[in-house]
Structure 1
Amino acid sequence: MLPSISKDTLEFFKNLEQNNNRDWFNEHKSAFKKIETNAKKVYNTVLNNLKIHDDVDGLKMFRIYRDVRFSKNKVPYKTHFGGSFHRTKPHLRGGYYLHIQPNNESFIATGFWEPAPADLLRIRKEFEMDDQEIRNIISDKKFKSIWGNFVGDEVKSAPKGFDKEHKAIDLIKKKQYIFIKKYTDEQVLSPDFLSDVDSSFKAIRPYFNYMSELLTTDLNGVSII
């Protein structure tokens, strides 16, 4: 039987949101450790599922403690679990992310959060030269039903050196190439949740295959690794 997110997890974070201070957290630390142990089992199950159909080099679960040194928001604790899974470089590119938060704020995400400047330029140059293949991938009926459209930051008009009237400017002006799928609390607590997460991650593969090939070759298709 697969581990699952417990109702206690969502309830703990709801209470933490209302009592985000060290005294309350320390008083309830044993409860946190219990849900954290369960969450680690869930995230490792996602990792093991990914390894069946992808080459993933590990899991990074993020700590509950917030870095408040440079933030105006000084609350000390996050009110969610987050963990990322990266595909093995240099041949494979892209990553997966699982976010567990109450009040219907849970989601999974895939794609490219902060492409290195060289990678971002390479992506934009590819779309400038030929945008048909990526459009075919992201407009596929099954793909779109799961992942919808790109989300993420973009420049207002056009990046330097690109024509703002180019037919692919909607793709070129993006700074991030991310897909997000949201979940309700009810869906997160469902016994089918991890199966749905895994099948959704599987469905991103055509996009990852395309981007991995793009980012490991030059504009002439010659390998750069």
Structure 2
Amino acid sequence: MSPFTPKTLSFLRSLTRHNDREWFKARRDEYDRHVREPMTVVVERLAADFRRFAPELVASPRYSLYRVYRDTRFSENKKPLKTHAAAIFPWRGLPKHEGAGLYFEIAGGWVWMGGGMYHPEPPDLHRVRTHIANTWPEIDRTVRATAFRKCLGQVGGDRLTRTPRGFAADHPAAAYLKYRQFIAGREFPAPFAHSREFYPTLVATFRALMPLVRFLNQPLAERAQDSRLMAQADSRHGPWLTPARTMSQHEPQSLSHQPSSDSAPACKALRPSRRCTAPAPV
């Protein structure tokens, strides 16, 4: 059974109407009981289930759950509180909000589950595109797999109108190379959160998405491993004996050909716009 109840949604809807610190402080116990604690239960269950199909991902309440308070320092929206509850499951060995991962959120009006890669930095996007260009049959098989299409429909996200510079316009993977982000997910009405089907559907969705997450992270994980090995060499030999630094085969020789449209700052959370949601399975 789902740990969420109708009171979870009721609290989140009330929070949307009363997005105020004092209002929230007076009802913090309700938030913990009806929102935070059920989210913790789900994350802990996923941590156990991930051992079977997603051991590369981090799942822990302390690391995965988002704070309820918003960082409003650089935002025009000064409302202090998030009106949904969300959890992220990033790749071990990569910074929390880099690479591809899994994500779900519960709001007063919807449930969203899915994941992918949300606005990677230009160097990482170039590595992913190069990986796609060199191994394109693999991503094609991944997104055409029966489980992926049944659970997630198709890959979504922002795209360029033309193949990025440095890649042939007639490349067999041109459709994938145009993506600036790789998002796949599904949305349900809010009451789905407290239905019996919620957790099994969440696991099935994440299981179907993991092959794409692995594919997208492969060049980034290899680059991170190269960096760790280089750092270990530095620490062993000291700066005066460090071997000459050679550019990794996974690192682009030049990023100057990146299109200007890819230089937008990366979002610091895998929190997809609802416009990027893949079509729900039929």
State the TM-score, normalizing by the size of structure 1: 0.83
Relative to structure 1, the CA distance from residue 130 to residue 202 in structure 2 (aligned partners, 3 Å threshold; closer, same or farther) is closer
For the pair 1:179 / 2:184, whether they are aligned, the reply is yes
Structure with higher Rg: it is: 2
Closer, same or farther: CA 216–46 of 1 in aligned 2, 3 Å: closer
Whether the aligned pair in 1 keeps the contact of 2:100 and 2:117 (CA below 8 Å) is yes
The CA deviation at 1:88 is 2.3
CA spacing shift, 1:26–1:206, aligned 2, 3 Å: closer
Query: In the alignment, which residue of structure 2 is the partner of 1:22?
Result: 21
Amino acid at match of 1:38: P
1:67 maps to which residue? 71
Corresponding position: 1:94 with 2:100: yes
Whole-angstrom CA distance in 1 between matches of 2:249 and 2:5? 46
Give the secondary-structure state (helix, strand or coil) at the position aligned to 2:87: strand
Distance change (3 Å), C-alpha of 1:27 and 1:215: closer
Structure richer in strand, relative to its length: 1
Q: Does 1:58 align with 2:59?
A: yes
Q: What amino acid does structure 1 have at the position aligned with 2:73?
A: R
CA deviations on 1:101-135 (whole Å, 9 max, x unpaired) are: 121x2111222224343332122123334533312
Shift of 1:31: 1.1
Does structure 2 retain, via aligned residues, the 8 Å contact 1:96–1:201? Answer: yes
Superposed CA deviations along residues 157-205 of structure 1, whole A, max 9, x for unmatched, are 3323234454433211211112112122232111231121112211223
SS in 1 for 2:90: strand
Aligned residue runs from structure 1 range 15-164, under 5 A = 15-35=14-34, 36-55=36-55, 56-59=57-60, 60-89=64-93, 94-103=100-109, 105-164=110-169
In the alignment, the residues of structure 1 paired with residue 143 and residue 32 of structure 2 have an alpha-carbon distance, to the nearest angstrom, of: 40
Q: Distance in 2 between matches of 1:192 and 1:4?
A: 12
- TM-score of the superposed pair, with normalisation by structure 2: 0.68
Unaligned 5+ runs, structure 1: none
TM-fit CA distance, 1:99: 0.7
What do you get for the CA RMSD once the two structures are aligned? 2.6
SS at 1:204's partner residue? Answer: helix
Distance 1:183 1:206 in 2: 23
**Does the 8 Å contact 2:111/2:190 carry over to 1?**
yes
Q: Is the 2:44–2:59 Cα contact (8 Å) retained in structure 1?
A: no
Residue 4 of structure 1 contacts residue 194 of structure 1 at CA under 8 Å; is this kept in 2?
A: no
Kept in 2, the 8 Å contact 1:47–1:85? The answer is: no
